[in-house]
Structure 1
Amino acid sequence: MDPLRVVEICAGAGGQALGLERAGFEHWLAVEIDPTAVETLRHNRPEWDVRLGDVADEDVWDPKQFKGVELLAGGVPCPPFSIAGKQLGSSDERDLFAWAVELCAVMTPRALMLENVRGLSAPRFSAYRQHVLDRLDELGYVADWRLLHASDFGVPQLRPRFVLVALQKEYAPYFSWPETVPLKTSVGELLQDLMEAEGWEHAAEWARRASGIGPTLVGGSKKHGGADLGPTRAKRAWMDLGVDAMGVANEAPPAGAPEGHNPKLTIEMVARLQGWTGDDWEFVGRKTSKYRQIGNAFPPPVAAAVGSRIAAALRREGPARELAEVVVHDEVYRILRAAEKPLTLREIITASAGDLTQEEVLLRLKHLERDFDMPRGKRRGEETFELGNFRAFVGQDDHIRHEYLAQMRSKVS
């Protein structure tokens, strides 16, 4: 199995791509909807097959032509799960997570890796996660979720990402999540040489002030303004590190800038904070576009760490491990999915062997109704509940996603 090939969807500007390359994967294909990000990918890796367009459009690429690829990977859109948004999940027309999972039925990759925001790990999406795990199990994969922090992989940034890894059952016993490493570098230590680039005499003093790790860089979307380093709370955290987060600078502080000056970060600094070393990747476009490409990326060191463990599993390196018991994310979903008839509230509680209270069941039913059709009925005066169709986009020709994309194409990023 040499080389290991990867098809990457929603590839962005290459954070995950570079990490997977470092892990030993060769890109068979990369697909991205943002034209400038595509230019960045093609500029840095002209030998790759990089396609521009909607990843779910078969005029852009035909998944069947990439059947049997070793790894299917991607960073599908985050807004459906973001805590900063409405958390519409499968009802959000931008949601591609379930569609990406369904690609496993078409492409039969040996492994799948998808990353998203921390919000997907919240109780609100427990049934969504359960549906994903159960669907992958039906397709012959062993899957697991893990919340990974960039700061645990050498990146001085508070950047949690929720990662799904699934492997065909013959490879799953060889997979283990990467071990974390102690963070040895602060924001100041990482960026001091760049702060000194224009001769600022007080860069060393600034580096001592910037002795912690930074908050999550927020790339944002084309709908909202220019480049800045995040919402109000993040801006305050950056100011505590001696950084003006109200924008991105064109250059490092000049010679003569006073002691105690709070500089803005440059594109080069932001890229380094995201895990690019500075000489391994060049970004195409204007400053705001470059910042957006960097801020929305999966840090290359995190992608490399997870990718390396997937590569080792695909090569069956090391001893096979006994698979851990699968975590049940939503017991109410599992009960309703297995039921042969609609169930009352009391029947759901009984089926949970008393593990769930009435309040817990009602809350989970409320969450379920946001992602699934939930027909209700009556039996002997008691309301009944039934698990209906999953509302997520999985390729339907009549899904609302198509209308949204037609109207908002220039603002999708």
Structure 2
Amino acid sequence: MPLPETAPTDPAPCHLESAERGEFIELLLHASGTHLRVRSGSIGKPCLVLQTSFKTPERALASHQRLYKEWQEQGFVPCSPSAPVVDGSVAEELFCDARTPHPLLDAFLAINGADELRGQPRRLALFRQGLRWHTDFDLERIADFGLHAGVIVEGDVEVAGVFSQLTYSYPGQTLISGSIHAASFGHGDSHMRVMGDVKVDNIIYGEYNDGSLVINGAMYGRAFITLDHDMYAEGGYHLPICEWNMQENWSDCLHPELFEYDDEDADEPGSMVSAEAIRRFMREGRDPFRPGARPVMREAEPEPPPPPPPPSPFAQRVRGLVDAEDVEGLTRLIETWPEHSEEWEQALIGRLYAPSTTPEQRVRLKALQKKKP
């Protein structure tokens, strides 16, 4: 739900910075005492804004104090802002009990494992205007605040670096109603649905067999590398696919630095792909293929044949009389049907020579045949 804007009566925000990381966090309890705003990101860059509400001021204050303590323990120091704080992507809250209706809530709850949240007072981070970030963005960044059970992005994700969920802990479910645009994209142990396309400059990567990713659109990029992961695009693949479970010989095509060494004394890398090496190639924007390699695009599956047209009213009537073994009814239908189409002619000839047709019915059918123009 949208939360109130800051007012003149609101207390001053608590601002902390880490010079080593070049990042900040700012915590603000609204004057109501039950609403908390968190702003966090790189100093001098548009930041992530999370807005949450609580039933009581005590709960809001406890969350404020917990976050303040956790960031101090990470080396953030209370201070005045060293640069103006500029809002970037804003996450409001949406509750799984549908106290505030939203058209994407049912689609979120239909994701694998999300149905257990239905009807619960658990909050989701809702980005109404999409999600944009100036560098790498892992969804664990939202988990650092410990306030949300899942994520809904209404619109596109646009990340200048690597967009990922590769930390195996959060969020359990993510719904993106638009497309993903990033340098690379990595997905691991969670369940995600992207209703649009995934378009990257370099690598789309999936790992670990407890997660799933459904892309309603298509994949675009330099390579799709999947290691034991349920990850597919309904709209097709416009890039080479390295699916490790398919037992294809990708070691002659992928860069040798992407493979783990079987032991410390080995002279050559083994056959297992290194998850850490793929992450490094994604961060550095490196080509995952050997120099001069020409990876082959997987052939698209042929389109299924179109379904047969529905039977005509005449054919439906014929089928019903055949099933009922009503030979006289069939003869009368042929005699009285106004449209003498090709379908009708086939039925007429079929009845003329059918063993079940009586001599009297055959005379009537032959008379119809003589009347044909």
Superposition TM-score tier, normalisation by shorter sequence: under 0.3
Between Structure 1 and Structure 2, whose CA radius of gyration is higher?
A: 2
Higher helix share: 1
Higher strand share: 2
User: TM-score, normalised to structure 2's length?
Assistant: 0.24
